[in-house]
A and B are shown apart, each in its own frame.
Chain A
Amino acid sequence: DQQVKQNSPSLSVQEGRISILNCDYTNSMFDYFLWYKKYPAEGPTFLISISSIKDKNEDGRFTVFLNKSAKHLSLHIVPSQPGDSAVYFCAASAIFGNEKLTFGTGTRLTIIP
C-alpha cells in the first residue's frame, strides 16, 4: 500500500527551463510534506517542506505547491541548472501521532545542457 506516490520515474528538462516534479498521497492524516534530493553514492538531503496550513512555500529557485483537496503536491525548480540533476524524493508525515516520514519511490531528474 503505497501511501506516497511519484508516478514519473524520470524527467528530462532543458537547462534554464522549469522542472516540475509531482507527488500524490492517499493518507488524509498527512499534514507535513517534504522534498529530498539525492545524488549517487550520497545520502538524501532535505530540500524544502510545507505544512498543510499553507499552499505554497518558496526557497530561492525551489517552490513547493500543495493541493490538499487533490492530495497532490509539486516541486517547481526554476531555472533548472545542471547541478539539479539528481533523484528527488517526496515524503509525508502526520505532525501529531506519527513519528516517521513515508517516502515516495523517487523521480530521477536530468537537466540537459
Chain B
Amino acid sequence: DAGITQSPRHKVTETGTPVTLRCHQTENHRYMYWYRQDPGHGLRLIHYSYGVKDTDKGEVSDGYSVSRSKTEDFLLTLESATSSQTSVYFCAISETGSTEAFFGQGTRLTVV
C-alpha cells in the first residue's frame, strides 16, 4: 500500500471555526491532491499540488486553501468552516499526475 496518512481521521467542528487537515506521504511522489466525496457527486477535486509551494485550484476550491512546504506534507485549511463543508475528505498522491493516483483512508469532517 502507498504510504499515505491522513490526520485526523474524524473531526467535529463548529461553524465559523478554522480547520486544518493533514496529508503525509512517504512515497516522494510529486503530485498531491485533496478530494471531497459527497453522495451524488462522486469525488470532486478541491486543490492539488505539483511540487513544493506549487498548487492549483480544482473544481470546488471556494472556502478552501492549501499549502505544501515539504514534498511529504499537503495541508488543507477551511478558514471558516460551514455546514456545506461537511464531507469525507481524501488525500491522493501520484508520480505522474495523469495516471494512477493512490488514496489515503479519508477524513470524515462534520461541521455543526
Contact = CB atoms under 8 A, between A and B. Distances in A.
Interface of A: 6, 9, 32, 34, 36, 41-46, 49, 89, 91, 93-96, 98-106
A41 B106 CA distance: 8
Nearest to A3: B59
B33 interface: yes
A83 to B, nearest CB: 17
A10 to B, nearest CB: 12
B99 A105 contact: no
B12 interface: no
Contact of B99 (A41, A43, A45, A93): A93
Contacts of A6: 42
Interface residues of B, number: 26
Contacts, number: 66
A43 B103 contact: yes
A45 B98 contact: no
Given A98-B97, A100-B45, 10 more contacts: A32-B99, A44-B103, A93-B97, A94-B98, A95-B98, A100-B31, A100-B97, A102-B45, A103-B42, A105-B42
A99 B42 contact: no
Contacts of A42: 105-106
Pairs A-B, 6 closest by C-beta atoms? A99-B97, A43-B103, A105-B42, A103-B43, A93-B98, A44-B103
Main secondary structure of the interface of B (DSSP, over half): strand
B74 interface: no
A69 to B, nearest CB: 22
Given A49-B100, A99-B48, A100-B33, A44 B40 contact: no
Contacts of A41: 105-106
B72 to A, nearest CB: 18
A95 B33 CA distance: 17
Contacts of A49: 99-100
B101 interface: yes
A104 B43 CA distance: 7
B102 interface: yes
Contacts of A32: 98-99
